[in-house]
């Protein structure tokens, strides 16, 4: 399952709040468990970038048709 994590980030107090996305790939098909894993991933992601108090998750959604392969 591939999850899309939509979040807002405000890098400085005078700057605008920006919306951005990151993605998380997991082997589980249980959405609740995958969401917990994605949240843990996001906390690590923000910590590594120094954005711990500057970001907020808006939503976590599964990517539609994530099981399909690309065709040429």
pLDDT score, position 66: 58
pLDDT score, position 48: 93
pLDDT score, position 67: 61
Residues lower than pLDDT 50 in the chain = none
pLDDT score, position 60: 95
**Which residues face 6 on adjacent strands?**
21, 59
Contact 51, 16 (CB under 8 A): no
């Amino acid at each position: 399952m591939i999850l899309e994590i939509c979040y807002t980030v405000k890098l400085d107090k005078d700057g605008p709040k920006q919306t951005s996305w990151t993605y998380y790939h997991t082997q589980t098909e249980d959405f609740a468990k995958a969401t917990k894993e994605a949240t843990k991933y996001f906390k690590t992601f923000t910590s590594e970038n120094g954005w711990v108090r500057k970001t907020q998750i808006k939503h976590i959604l599964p990517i539609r048709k994530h099981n399909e392969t690309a065709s040429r």
